Amino acid sequence: MNVLLVGNGGREHAIAWKLSKSKNLSKLFIAPGNPGTAKCGINIDIQTNEYDKLIRFAKDNNVGLAVIGPEDPLSDGIVDMFEKAGIKAFGPSGAAAQIEADKAFAKKIMKANSVPTAESKTFEVFSEAKAYIASRDEAVVIKAAGLAKGKGVYVCDEPSDGINAAEKMMCDKIFGKAGATILVEDKLLGQEASILALVDSKNIYVLETAQDHKAIGDGDTGPNTGGMGAYSPAPVVTEKIMEQIIREILVPTVDGMNRNGTPYKGVLYAGVMITQGGPRTLEFNARFGDPETQPILARLKSDLLEAMLATCDGTLDKITLEWDERPAVCVVMASGGYPGDYEKGKVITGVDEAEKLGDVNVFHAGTEAKDGKVVSSGGRVLGVTALGKTIADAQAKAYQAVEKINFEKAYYRKDIADKAIKKNQR
């Protein structure tokens, strides 16, 4: 089967790497891809928002499955477009993808189906949001309702900071139309975990757990980013807690989407806070997480293409996925200055040396080829991912690999997976 993968980030490189190992794959095309995906298949010079070109290419090249990586095309209804053209596509419909693209929609689904989540209010007028935040005397979380590349969340311990965050979103429009509507939520306390599940509208197949590190600085300090690293599995999610997450969050959400007339197919990602009162839903994403995908797929031993086809065909109850018992850790190497202003075009060296360590994959996130060299082209540049016998071993190998890679002003957190190591030492 010929497969077209849409996207060009670290998530897509990890997906391309795993798909390339499938015995059912004939050709893998990646649009537009990056220098990393070029080693897994054939990069195609079509951008992720050039929908007509993507569909035309798929038809002309006998593509049997389109796999959609990023959230923007999903919310625009690219899966519907492919299916209308008679091409099978992995991902939710445009209507179902609103569970990520519109946080107000997601809250309505959660409230209607008694899914545990933080109390919240939705605002479209800044003066009303300001008055409400000012009336509170505890910490608040301000969220842009639309898609903001993982950066549209401000955790504010003081209401005054919450007002400033709301003003930036609604008046200064730092996230464009994504921040025109905001949610003001109670702050939940605990550890966050990423729960990814394949969903075929009636069956749910939960993947291995992971934990992301959103803040730019060590110790979870500084502004939020798209993710500075991740590890799998997440020891904070015990077997008992996972049963609770499936029973109280995933099942009622999938049932609720069906009742809403927006049945869900694809990957459903639940960001969950493990509080003293049990798991609480922070948000849903309508696709594989980035960078959680990197360590999760590094541990997947089964055929990803078969699992994706089962998701599309409604036969998830017929598959069983096998996993490497060894943990995996992904450390993101970012451009200096990210998530603020940063420079591009920095020459990257040492990737081959890093991968020679064994059980190491360096996934390209923000790179491009220029004059025969690989250079930085984004804020998050590489996802250095390693397996190890223990989480500490995986962490040590990942950082050993990071030390072999160089580009000017490279920045990375030094504490990815520390939480898991401390949890295991108790």
Could you please report the per-residue DSSP string of 128-185?
HHHHHHHT--S-EEEEESS--TT--EEEESSHHHHHHHHHHHHTS-TTGGGGSSEEEE
Given a contact cutoff of 8 angstroms between Cβ atoms, the answer to whether 303 and 1 are in contact is no
pLDDT > 60? residue 426:
no
Q: Are 286 and 75 in contact (CB under 8 A)?
A: yes
Domain ranges of the chain: 2-91, 125-180, 191-318, 328-425
- The lowest-confidence range among 15-19, 154-158, 411-415 is 154-158
Q: Which two tokens stand for residue 352?
A: 């081959």
Rounded to an integer, what distance in angstroms lies between the CA atom of residue 76 and that of residue 60? 23
Residue 236 has pLDDT above 80, yes or no: yes
Residue count of the chain? 426
Q: Which CATH superfamily is domain 191-318 in?
A: ATP-grasp fold, B domain (3.30.470.20)
Mean pLDDT of 399-426: 92
Whether the predicted pLDDT of 149 surpasses 90? no
d(CA 383, CA 13): 10
Percent of the chain with pLDDT over 70: 100
| Residue type, position 199, single letter | V
CA trace torsion 328, 329, 334, 340 (10° rounding): 110
256-268 pLDDT per residue, tens:
999 999 999 999 9
Q: Which token pair is 17?
A: 């790497």
pLDDT at 305: 98
Closest CA to 212 of 103, 288, 301: 288
pLDDT at position 373 over 70: yes
Alpha carbon distance 366, 380 (integer Å): 6
Residue 425 pLDDT greater than 70, yes or no: no
For 2-91, CATH number out of 1.10.10.1100, 2.40.50.100, 3.40.50.20, 3.20.20.370 equals 3.40.50.20
Give CATH for domain 328-425: 3.90.600.10
- Tokens found for residue 249: 């969050």
Q: Domain 125-180 belongs to what topology?
A: Dna Ligase; domain 1 (3.30.1490)
The mean per-residue pLDDT over the stretch 280-299 comes to 97
| Arithmetic mean of pLDDT over the chain | 96
Q: Are 316 and 294 within 8 A, CB to CB?
A: no
Phi and psi, residue 51, nearest 5°: -65, -45
Mode of pairing for the β-strands spanning 204-206 and 191-200: antiparallel
Helices 304-313/10-19 angle, 10° precision: 100
Query: Can you tell me the distance from the alpha carbon of 3 to that of 62, in angstroms, rounded to the nearest whole number?
Result: 9
DSSP of 116-129, one letter per residue? -B--EEEESSHHHH
81 forms beta bridges with none
User: Is the C-alpha dihedral spanning 382, 221, 194, 250 positive or negative?
Assistant: negative
Token pair 């089964």 is found at: 302
Can you tell me the mean pLDDT for 223-238? 94
Give me the mean pLDDT over the 50-54 stretch.
98
Looking at residue 151, its pLDDT comes to: 80
Give 166-222 pLDDT, tens digit per residue. Answer: 999 999 999 999 999 999 999 999 999 999 999 999 999 999 999 999 999 999 999
Rounded distance between C-alpha atoms, residue 196 and residue 86, angstroms: 28
> What single letter denotes the amino acid at residue 81?
M
Q: What is the mean pLDDT of residues 403-415?
A: 98
* CB-based contacts of 16-19 (< 8 A; 24+ apart in sequence): 16/40, 16/41, 17/297, 17/361, 17/363, 18/297, 18/300, 18/304, 19/67, 19/304, 19/305
